[in-house]
Structure 1
Amino acid sequence: MKLASGPITLSTPEAPFPVLLRQRMSDYVTLTKPRIAVMVLITVGAGYLMGAGMSAKLAPMIHTLLGAGLVAAGASAWNMWIERDTDTRMRRTANRPLPAGRLHHLEVVVFGTAIAVTGVNYLWHALPTPYAAIVSAITFISYVAIYTPLKPVTTWNTVIGAIPGALPPVIGWYAAKGEIGLGGVAIFLVLFTWQLPHFMAIAWMYRQEYAKAGHLMLPVVDETGRRTSRAMIVWCVLLIVSSLLPVMRADFQLADVSYAFGAIFCGVLFLLSTLKFSRERTDKQARQVLQVSILYLPAVMALLMVHAFLLG
């Protein structure tokens, strides 16, 4: 399969210009990883609403979402550029614009850099304090320059990658509060611990493809799944503890005891799915862990937002 290091190729030379244009626009959208971008924007918005509570304003929230969205899209484009060779070895990524040869690698670098820099600058100038812009820049750098290169180097890459993955709600919190505060720390820890069992379930289902691509995920080196299942359980327990931080300290000012019951209920359901995976280490059970994790995050975020408005 030819890599996109030479002239740009799109479909066929005889294709009409509108068809070529639609293909090019579609490829640029693909570079931004829309599904991940949507998840990022949801967590950024949730962080803003949790920080602002009843004082939330539409304009600052839109500014925050726009700037953070541009940074996230730029990071995704850079991620695809860095992994353009390994993507050719995975069936689910082989048709991305770079490995498929539809985009030139230099235009991807320019595109990713331009929108990321634009996003950071937009946050810097559109919001009253620069902290959201600074956290966005840290998120971009840690994702592109640290996590992505470490994927073929160490199984700890998932833990390291959970750091930039947990920073988007902190961007929203900073935009609302102008300072980090203990509440921002609590939100960060919830999202950080949630990501580990979530992504380990994904890595287990696609462990053969990750192995072909040279990504050193834990399930790739853990053939029996024992270490993976133990890690899932440990991180789920830590997630339950993290989710209770907003009610463990009064100065967090995020939630009350009623939130705790909801968080514990959601956390126990998540934990039960990982315990079931430890008994039956199959792709089917890993998918169940993934499905429960996808339900867990919006449920707990919604609980936090509701209590932020009630207590704010």
Structure 2
Amino acid sequence: MYSFTLKSKFSKMEPVEAAVKLQKQKAKSIVSIYLELSKLNILSLVLVATFLGYYIGNNGIGSWILLTSTLMGTAMTSAGAGALNHYLERKPDQLMNRTKNRPLPAGTISPLSVIIYGVLMVVFGSIILFVKVNMLTGFLSLLTAFLYIAIYTPLKRITWLNTSIGSIPGAIPIIGGWTAATGEIGTMAWILFGIMYLWQHPHFYAIAWMCKDDYAAAKFKMLPVIEPDGIRTIRQIFWHLLLMIPISLLPVVEGSLGTIYLVGVTMISCAFFLSAVPLAKNQSHKSALLLLKASVLYLPALLIIIIIDLGLKT
């Protein structure tokens, strides 16, 4: 009798435990789907750029509430734009090895759900910026989303200049951080925009070189696809890296940053430039990956240098 009762209890508990475990797995799966739709890699770079603009514009953190509202609104708008990009590129994504397992090509979520999520995130993210930050920052977030979704995304199938045009919405968030702190677009904001605009070219050309076969399959007009020998791609990378060096020194001339920044940014800019040399020599996947890693490290390194410089000035 005892053994029967004990077995009965376990037999009743097991389906419940299994159901709870299944629900947890489903919830985890749903969360992971929406995180992937939000393009966390791009979102993280957007937030670093926004924080850079805010921190320099405010000479520090200032109001934590204002900073949190700025980052939250920007993150939501960026996530929504990323999701809508997923929707617009759902068919090309089916043709590329690196994207064929994304939520839409894999069929793990419906296109309508992606549209609803994307629109809601853009709308509510912008509302947070309009209400909690200021009108100018809210407008810039909407402008960024519009340029990314309506201009850059379709241009990828039309012209190799999509990288240069797409770098405009990619550089606006750093201005958004500045306007969140100051309420206006000053000279320094445009200098920061220039740094971000130029930085994106070697970053995305490195990705395009590594993924050129996938891009060719999807009929994306990336420069390494339309010109396989890589000469123009290398030229574009070096031109933008060369321009970045003097532009990155302008904050010292403008007066916002000092000697620590001057020394630090010169070092990381030269290191960034040198990281492109192996790609020019052998044009290999490994060399492109080196350049990509250097580009990813550049922004947090720049942020640390700026924090140290401003910290010593106060």
Under a length normalisation based on structure 2, what TM-score does the superposition of the two structures give? 0.89
| 8 A Cα contact 1:124 1:133, kept in partner | yes
Q: Which residue of 1 aligns with 2:228?
A: 223
Give the letter for the 1:263 counterpart.
Answer: V
Written as runs of structure 1 = structure 2, the 5 A alignment for 1:199-210 is: 199-210=204-215
- Aligned-partner SS, 1:85: helix
Determine whether 1:262 maps to 2:248: no
**Rounded Cα–Cα distance in structure 2 between residues aligned with 1:114 and 1:94:** 25
CA contact (8 A) 2:260 2:305 kept: no
Partner of 2:183: 178
Which is worse superposed, 32-41 or 184-193? Answer: 32-41
- Partner amino acid, structure 2, of 1:30: E
CA distance in 2, matches of 1:190, 1:305: 17
Bigger shift: 158-167 or 37-46?
37-46
Among residues 56, 62, 81, which one is paired with 1:75 in the alignment? 81
Q: Which residue of 1 aligns with 2:164?
A: 159
Deviations 1:95-121 (A, max 9, x none): 111111111111111110011001111
Q: Deviations over 1:215-244 (max 9, x none)?
A: 111011121111111111101001112101
Equivalent-residue separation in structure 2 for 1:116 and 1:278 (angstroms): 40
CA RMSD of aligned residues (A): 1.6
The within-5 A match list for 1:1-312 is: 16-54=22-60, 56-127=62-133, 129-249=134-254, 253-311=255-313
Displacement of 1:67 in angstroms is: 0.5
**1:263 Cα shift?**
1.3
1:63–1:126 contact (8 Å) kept in structure 2: yes
1:26, distance to aligned residue in structure 2 (A): 2.1
- Structure 2 unaligned segments of length 5 or more: list them: 1-20
The amino acid across from 2:169 in the alignment is: P
Distance 1:294 1:22, change over 3 A: closer
Residues 22 and 265 from structure 1, CA distance in 2 versus in 1: closer, same or farther, beyond 3 angstroms?
closer
Q: Write the distance in 2 (CA, Å) between the matches of 1:149 and 1:52.
A: 36
Cα distance between partner residues in 2 of 1:139 and 1:310? 34
1:191, distance to aligned residue in structure 2 (A): 0.9
- CA displacement at 1:167 relative to structure 2: 1.2
Contact 1:77–1:109 (CA under 8 A) maintained in structure 2: yes
SS in 2 for 1:244: helix
Q: Are 2:276 and 2:291, in contact at CA under 8 Å, matched by a contact in 1?
A: yes
In structure 1, distance between residues paired with 2:218 and 2:247:
33
Q: Distance in 2 between matches of 1:107 and 1:55?
A: 37
**Which protein is richer in helix relative to its size?**
2
Could you list the per-position Cα deviations for residues 64-109 of structure 1 after superposition, in whole angstroms to 9, with x for gaps in the alignment? Answer: 0110010000000000000000000111111111111111111111
Identity %: 37
CA distance in 2, matches of 1:159, 1:301: 24
- Measure how far apart 1:16 and its partner are: 4.7
Name the stretch that deviates more: 265-274 or 255-264. Answer: 255-264
Shift of 1:308: 3.5
User: Which blocks of at least 5 consecutive residues in structure 1 are unaligned?
Assistant: 1-14
- Residues 182 and 308 of structure 1: is their aligned pair in 2 closer, same or farther, counting only changes over 3 Å? farther
Equivalent in the alignment of 2:6:
none
> Counterpart amino acid of 1:66?
M
Contact 1:273–1:292 (8 Å) recurs in 2: yes
Q: Quick one: higher RCO (CA 8 Å, sep 6+), 1 or 2?
A: 1
Name the CA distance, whole Å, in 2 between partners of 1:236 and 1:260: 17
Give how far 1:168 is off.
1.2
The whole-number CA distance in structure 2 between the counterparts of 1:19 and 1:285 is 39
- Say if 1:207 and 1:219, in contact at 8 Å, map to a contact too: yes
Question: Per-residue displacement from partner, 1:144-180 (whole Å, max 9, x unpaired)?
Answer: 0000110010000001111111111111110001111
Distance of 1:162 and 1:270 partners within structure 2: 18
Number of paired residues? 294
Once the two structures are TM-superposed, the CA of residue 293 in structure 1 deviates from its matched residue by 1.3
TM-score (norm. length: structure 1): 0.90
CA–CA distance in structure 2, aligned partners of residues 17 and 177 of structure 1: 46
Change (3 A) 1:20 1:296: closer
